[in-house]
Amino acid sequence: MTEPNGSNRRDFLKTSTLAVGGAVATQIGLSSTAHAAGSDVIKVGLIGCGGRGTGAAEQICIASQPDKNVKLYAMGDLFLDHLETARKRLTGAVGDQVDVTKERCFTGFDAFQKVIDSGVDLVILASPPGFRPMMIEAAVKAGKNIFTEKPVAVDGPGIRKVLAAAEEAKKKGLAVVAGTQRRHQAGYVECMKRIHDGALGELTGGQCYWNQGGLWMKPRETSWSDMEWQVRNWLYFTWLSGDHIVEQHVHNLDVINWAFGTHPVRAVGMGGRQVRTSPDYGHIFDHFATDLEYPGGVHVMSMARQIEGCEKNISETVVGTAGKWSSAGSRLQFTGKDKYRFNEKSTDPYVQEHIDLLASIRAGKPLNELKTVAESTLTAIMSRMSAYTGEAVTWEQALNSKEDLLPANLVMGNLPVPPVAIPGQTKFI
């Protein structure tokens, strides 16, 4: 299968992540040249101090051990309580690798810019996804290396901004690694290499799933404005999360794009809000199903559900003319011509992605995963657009959409919740 730019699936794999031996590459990289800023210590700024951001900050510190040549230097969050909780937890977890003074703790909607301007070399972007395009753009403009959580946008305008930033980061030689950790998980890397080398023959289809129960919800407090309530419950508002098909199912869609070496050209989806109907859960759907069409008329079935008491399934399957590969039940295995099954022990992929990021910076060979994660994010956005409207949506329609979901004024105050989408009536622009 060939990409429009002429690269094949094997090339796509080589440019999407480091090889399986990331830990070995790290040992070489850390002992070579210092990073571009001229110091052996990489100063990290954490933007978004919730659970995922706190975890990512801890993991990048662990990735630098035993040398400990990474320091958490600045922190920013919209809410002071988030920042203080994260700072306390991180100090307990990684000790002297936290070097965050009160002067380098920032809150408010402009906290991200203050962290970027604080003298850091690398930023971790872990705020709600709706804010991510402007944060990525600002970090690249300032010449900072980036670890960005997925997804990287919630709408077409955001994706266009991220794709432009990806090109600018490449020109500046910046490293950008995304939180699609399967691309740094030894088993997935080995299996994708086999797929790209022809273990399944010609790819003919596949399935991917993220079906689980519910997630956390924080009851509204009387002192919270509309804006504060929505940001504190960001999972349940499309402008912040993109809906769970974008925020969560992007992992599985990313694996499918990785296997096929390209993105889908068309989506026909359906979904709804069957169980989580209370206003406490904002206006997002609780289930989706999408038929994704890839180049050559190849179809992949995608399903995402967050409903308690239902069958659970978090997996991907790829089918080809010579066999099948599946990650079902955490078993990475092939059936057909190739009987390979991955059984080796490997580094926690949440740590490995930071090992690979740091190694690429120190070796002067920066990884840049921004384009691939943007394409996987748009795959999910396209699927959501189709489910919300009931219409078929093409890649070009999703990419060029004018539907900018970010509120015009980012201030604590009134912010009406959009109505729940109704397929056949809701339209996109």
What confidence tens digit (pLDDT) does each residue in 309-318 have? Answer: 999 999 999 9
**pTM of this structure:** 0.91
Which of 351, 370, 345 is closest to 26 using CA atoms? 351
What is the distance between the alpha carbons of residues 264 and 271, in angstroms, rounded to a whole number? Answer: 19
Q: From CA 123, how far away is CA 145, in angstroms rounded? A: 6
Q: Out of 11-25, 112-126, 185-199, pick the least confident.
A: 11-25
Q: Report the candidate in 41, 61, 105, 59 with the shortest Cα–Cα distance to residue 79.
A: 105
Question: Which tens digit of pLDDT belongs to each residue from 228-260?
Answer: 999 999 999 999 999 999 999 999 999 999 999
Residue 234 φ then ψ, to 5°: -60, -20
Q: Look up tokens 């930033």; give the residue.
A: 165
The number of angstroms, rounded, from the C-alpha of 425 to the middle of its chain's C-alpha atoms is 30
Residue 31 confidence (pLDDT): 30
> In angstroms, rounded to a whole number, what is the distance separating the alpha carbons of residues 390 and 271?
9
pLDDT at 360 over 80: yes
List the beta strands (DSSP E) in 49-163.
70-77, 105-107, 122-125, 145-148
- Mean per-residue pLDDT for 366-380? 98
Which tokens belong to 54?
Answer: 């706190």
Q: What is the DSSP letter of 235?
A: G
Q: Which pLDDT value is given to residue 299?
A: 98
pLDDT above 90: residue 32 = no
pLDDT digits (tens, 9 = 90+) for 202-231: 999 999 999 999 999 999 999 999 999 999
